[in-house]
Amino acid sequence: MEFFFGSFVKIVAVVAWVYGLLRVMGNSSKLVKIVGIVAMFGIVQVAILVKIGDDAILNSFDTGLLFQACTMVMVALGLNLIYGFNGQFSLGQYGFYGIGAYTAADITYRWTNGQASGLIVAGIGVVLIGAVILGLNRFLSRFRGLPVLSAFTLYLIGVIVAGVVAYYVGATIGDALTPLFGSTDAPGILRSDIALQLVFVLAVLIAGIFAAEVAFLFGLPVLTLGSDYFGIASLGFTIVVNTLMVNTDTILPFPEMKGGQGMIGIPKVTTWFWAFAFLLLVIIVMRNVIHSSTGRAIMSVREDETASKAMGINIANYKLLSFVIGSLFAGIGGGVYAHYIGFLSPGTFDFIVGFNPLIIIVFGGLGSMTGTIVAGFFWMFFLEGMLRVLLGQMGTDAPTWRYVLYPITLLLMMLLRPKGLLGKVEWGFLRPEEVTPRRTAEMLNSATGVMPTVK
Amino acid sequence: MTNTVTTSSSTSQPLLEVRKLTKFFGGLRAVNDFDMTIQPGELVGLIGPNGAGKTTSFNMISGLYTPSSGEIILDGQNIAGLEPHEVTQMGIGRTFQNIRLFQNLSVLDNVRVAYHMHAGYSMIDAILRNSRYTARERELTEQAQDFLSIFKLERIQHELAMNLPYGEQRRVEIARALASNPRLLLLDEPAAGMNPAEIVTLMDLIHFVQERFGLTILLIEHQMRFVMGICERITVMDFGEVIARGTPKEIQANPKVIEAYLGKGAAHA
């Protein structure tokens, strides 16, 4: 009973915290904004540190939920961009989440084991691949009516070439850097704590960009399918990625990932500071994209593709764009997750659990950023935190019942609130900027003034 | 080809010239050798019984369908086979027979989507929320609002499009098409489902936008009163072919048109 009460208070507190965070972020005064964000960060940091009796206010179990909620929100926000805002039903989000997690984990793992080449190969790789994709994109846009598969082949060749170049360059520079690591007894300058933090941030960003680049290559041909077919294809993608994870040490040349056994020894670098920072980054980017002309173009594709085309919008580009950004978020989320838990197992990225972000965005409301964030935290603290433990107290097998309870909750949700927990409501920062009424029609005499000025 | 009444032999370049446009759907010849010339500033009607190929022609001009053969020349440039968004960027705006508004977006956002191609800032500007974003976004919103007030829609700018009554949805759709800054506006059955009073309002609106924006308009319509009252020239299609061209008066007297609409024998009655 005491646990029930405690959990309940925590859930309310977390939702209130999210509300507070979004409110201070939305404050018009820059000073209030910065102080507020620091304060919202501080409250949680204090709760993690301050002990009441034996345990901290947020004990290790709660902090675990908190970190997982942060990564889950990043992944779910990405999926909401793809499905909720752009209307492309995707089941591939966990594939990109997994790619991000393994990529980031491998970079820092190698780094802590005295191998700089991981970071350098991946870093140069994503930059080169990005440059190739952007360059080819600009080049190919000159050709009219190029079949998508031909374009895909060109991109693929470009990406492979870039990857090979990155590999050889990385191997060369990497070996040169290795002496700077020093030995285990006398660590060199590259094995300091600060270096590791820096590498961690780079690793997470590289992982995100890598996931985004994979999303580009996958999405380019596959997004031309209709929405439902795309959903099936993306499910296939998740399964392929999962199979590759299980076989990292056999068919892929990554023995340190240990295949199905799971990868161990990833440095646990994710602190509350980093989880909060990356979450903030994702929320800000997401909101800034949505509340812009690009965001309106993305939403118009969801509403009506034909009308969207007639408004001069290249719908294939915007589908690809939202898919790539959504996967970028998933990749970043994966990187943050890997360094919190310190252990990666292919089971974590199984396609069945891949439905979790989908449930979260439907629960929170498709096309509602606030809904996704609240539902993400709620999901972790209520279902994974409270319900799991409560069921656990009833017997060792009882937690399995939550796989019955989740779908029932979702079902009830769909029946009672088909538009999601919060519908279209957005809080504070996530609300669109207010538009004030303008002059009346009588005051407008020149017709030319209202036509868009072409720049 | 029959009854080719050439209207003007003016030396000015036509805004739109359609030559021998043909579209097959499988073995079905939906549109056959469709020809049409529209001078700048004209208001031309395209009429014909159901299934005559009017909307198919529209869809080819606006790029939704790729023509099987033929040319579509806008201001001297062949635009046949371009993607729809490219056609819009070339300056052809359109509305749809069944209204296609962005239902879950506000009226203002519907119009602002049309401004997207002239937004003047990139996604990077938006992510960074830099001064270019702020300035252009404000400018764009103000333009959209001024635009809405011309159509007397400013009061409902924050309503979702789906919540509007039918007549207003039509107005928003026309406003949105105009916001994409077209030289040529294609209206696909703008008066469909409207009562006589609403049709009169619509006629005023179309006259108004034509004068105000110096537009050239091509419209498909079934309501004869509407077409005869508003169009300067009319082209009549039946079974994918042009069967008559001329002024409303000429068309009303044309036996082939009467036959197409009322059946054989009606012309002699």
The ipTM value here is 0.90
Mean pLDDT in residue range A432-451: 59
The answer to whether the beta carbons of residues A151 and A219 sit under 8 Å apart is no
Mean pLDDT in residue range B129-156: 91
Q: Helices A60-79 and A272-290, interaxial angle, to 10°?
A: 20
Measured distance CA(A431)–CA(A23) in Å, rounded: 10
Q: Which of residues 424-443 of A touch B (CB under 8 A)?
A: 435, 437-441
Q: Is the pLDDT of residue B6 over 80?
A: no
Q: Is the pLDDT of residue B127 over 90?
A: yes
Q: State the distance between the two ends of chain B, measured CA to CA, in whole angstroms.
A: 26
pLDDT of residue A438: 66
The answer to whether the beta carbons of residues A396 and A344 sit under 8 Å apart is no
The answer to whether the beta carbons of residues A372 and A424 sit under 8 Å apart is no
DSSP element (H, E) containing B235 = strand B233-238
Percent of the residues in chain B that have a pLDDT greater than 70, as a whole number: 94
pTM of the model: 0.92
Q: Is the pLDDT of residue A429 over 80?
A: yes
A25 interaction partners in chain B (CB closer than 8 Å): none
Please answer yes or no on whether A441 and B150 come within 8 Å at the CB atom. yes
The answer to whether the beta carbons of residues B49 and B223 sit under 8 Å apart is no
**Residue B138, in any domain of the structure:** no
**Digit-coded pLDDT (tens) for A131-158:** 999 999 999 988 877 888 999 999 999 9
Chain A closest-CA separation from residue B30 CA (Å): 20
Of A296, A310, A435, the CB nearest to B116: A296
Per-residue confidence band for B194, with pLDDT thresholds at 50, 70 and 90: confident
Q: Is the pLDDT of residue A225 over 70?
A: yes
Cβ of B63 under 8 Å from any chain A Cβ?
A: yes
Measured distance CA(A328)–CA(A163) in Å, rounded: 19
* Residue matched to tokens 């996704």: A372
- The stretches of B20-117 forming alpha helices (DSSP H) are 54-61, 84-90, 107-114
**Residue B161, in any domain of the structure:** no
Whole-Å CA distances, A265 to A249, A257, A262, B38: 16, 10, 10, 73
Chain B closest-CA separation from residue A193 CA (Å): 31
Q: HEC states along A265-292? A: CCCCCCCHHHHHHHHHHHHHHHHHHHCC
For B38, the 3-state DSSP assignment is: strand
pLDDT of residue A160: 96
pLDDT of residue A384: 82
Measured distance CA(B240)–CA(A77) in Å, rounded: 49
Chain A closest-CA separation from residue B204 CA (Å): 16
Whole-Å CA distances, B194 to B27, B95, B173, B197, B221: 35, 16, 15, 8, 12
Q: Is the pLDDT of residue A175 over 90?
A: no
Identify the sign of the CA torsion A359, A362, A367, A371.
negative
Per-residue confidence band for B265, with pLDDT thresholds at 50, 70 and 90: low
DSSP conformation class of B26: T
**Which is more confident, A382 or A336?**
A336
**Residue B132, in any domain of the structure:** no
Please answer yes or no on whether B85 and A453 come within 8 Å at the CB atom. no
Mean pLDDT in residue range A258-275: 93
Per-residue confidence band for A293, with pLDDT thresholds at 50, 70 and 90: very high
Please answer yes or no on whether A289 and B127 come within 8 Å at the CB atom. yes
Measured distance CA(B239)–CA(A243) in Å, rounded: 56
Cβ of B118 under 8 Å from any chain A Cβ?
A: yes
Mean pLDDT in residue range A261-267: 93
Number of domains forming the structure of chain B: 1
The answer to whether the beta carbons of residues B32 and B243 sit under 8 Å apart is no
Two tokens at B1?
């080809």
**Residue B170, in any domain of the structure:** no
Two tokens at A118?
């991981």
The answer to whether the beta carbons of residues A93 and A329 sit under 8 Å apart is no
Cβ of A450 under 8 Å from any chain B Cβ?
A: yes
Cβ of A451 under 8 Å from any chain B Cβ?
A: yes
Q: Is the pLDDT of residue A227 over 80?
A: no
Please answer yes or no on whether B180 and A311 come within 8 Å at the CB atom. yes
Walk across the sheet containing B216-220 and list its strands.
B92-94, B184-188, B216-220, B43-47, B233-238, B241-246
DSSP conformation class of A452: P
Percent of chain A that is helix, strand, coil (3-state, to 5) = 75, 0, 25
Measured distance CA(B178)–CA(B53) in Å, rounded: 25
Mean pLDDT in residue range A274-295: 96
User: What pairing do the DSSP bridges indicate for beta strands B43-47 and B233-238?
Assistant: parallel
Per-residue confidence band for A166, with pLDDT thresholds at 50, 70 and 90: very high
For residues B171, B176, B182 and B185, what is the CA-based torsion angle, rounded to 10 degrees?
A: -40
pLDDT of residue A289: 96
Of A309, A321, A444, the CB nearest to B146: A444
Task: Please state the length of chain B.
Answer: 269
Top residue of A283, A304, A306, A435 to mutate, by most chain B CBs within 10 Å, is: A435
**Digit-coded pLDDT (tens) for A356-391:** 899 899 889 999 999 999 999 998 998 888 887 888
Percent of the residues in chain A that have a pLDDT greater than 70, as a whole number: 95
The answer to whether the beta carbons of residues A282 and A289 sit under 8 Å apart is no
Of A144, A300, A453, the CB nearest to B118: A453
Phi first, then psi: what are they for A268, rounded to 5°? -85, 85
pLDDT of residue A204: 97
Measured distance CA(A142)–CA(A133) in Å, rounded: 15
Identify the sign of the CA torsion B77, B81, B82, B87.
positive
Cβ of B185 under 8 Å from any chain A Cβ?
A: no
> Average per-residue pLDDT in chain B?
88
Please answer yes or no on whether A145 and B81 come within 8 Å at the CB atom. yes
Q: Is the pLDDT of residue A194 over 90?
A: no
**Residue B165, in any domain of the structure:** no
Q: Is the pLDDT of residue B9 over 50?
A: no
Query: What is the Cβ-side half-sphere exposure of residue B162, based on CA atoms within 13 angstroms?
Result: 6
Walk across the sheet containing B77-78 and list its strands.
B28-38, B16-25, B69-74, B77-78
Q: Cα A174 vs. chain centroid, distance in angstroms? A: 29
Of A299, A312, A453, the CB nearest to B89: A312
Q: Is the pLDDT of residue A451 over 60?
A: no
Cβ of B91 under 8 Å from any chain A Cβ?
A: no
**Digit-coded pLDDT (tens) for B223-245:** 888 888 899 999 999 999 999 99
Of A293, A312, A449, the CB nearest to B146: A449
Burial grade of B189 (CB within 10 A; 0-12, 13-18, 19 or more): buried
**Which is more confident, A179 or A267?**
A267
pLDDT of residue A439: 55
pLDDT of residue A452: 54
pLDDT of residue A55: 80
Q: Is the pLDDT of residue A441 over 70?
A: no
pLDDT of residue B2: 40
Whole-Å CA distances, A100 to A155, A159, A210: 21, 18, 7
pLDDT of residue B112: 95
Q: Apex CA B115: angle with CA B113 and CA B116, to 5°?
A: 65
Q: Is the pLDDT of residue A124 over 50?
A: yes
Out of A39-43, A78-82, A450-454, least confident range: A450-454
> If you measure CA to CA, which chain B residue comes closest to A435?
B141
The answer to whether the beta carbons of residues B267 and B244 sit under 8 Å apart is no
CATH assignment of the domain containing B44: 3.40.50.300
Cβ of A281 under 8 Å from any chain B Cβ?
A: no
**Residue B156, in any domain of the structure:** no
The answer to whether the beta carbons of residues A206 and A62 sit under 8 Å apart is no
Q: How many CB pairs under 8 A join A and B?
A: 153
pLDDT of residue A58: 84
**Digit-coded pLDDT (tens) for A31-75:** 999 999 999 999 999 999 988 878 888 888 889 999 999 999 999
Domain region containing B218: 16-91+182-268
pLDDT of residue B59: 94
pLDDT of residue A177: 79
Measured distance CA(B205)–CA(A379) in Å, rounded: 52
The answer to whether the beta carbons of residues A53 and A337 sit under 8 Å apart is no
> Average per-residue pLDDT in chain A?
89
pLDDT of residue B267: 52
Cβ of A138 under 8 Å from any chain B Cβ?
A: no
Out of A270-279, B65-74, B186-195, least confident range: B186-195
**Residue B241, in any domain of the structure:** yes
**Residue B219, in any domain of the structure:** yes
Q: Is the pLDDT of residue B176 over 70?
A: yes
Q: What is the DSSP string of A212-269?
A: HHHHHHHHHHHTTS-HHHHHHHHHHHHHHHHHHHHTTTTTSS-GGG-GGG-EE-----
pLDDT of residue A446: 47
Please answer yes or no on whether B146 and A145 come within 8 Å at the CB atom. no
Of B93, B102, B143, the CB nearest to A303: B102
pLDDT of residue B10: 46
Two tokens at A120?
């350098």
Percent of chain B that is helix, strand, coil (3-state, to 5) = 40, 25, 35
Please answer yes or no on whether B112 and A293 come within 8 Å at the CB atom. yes
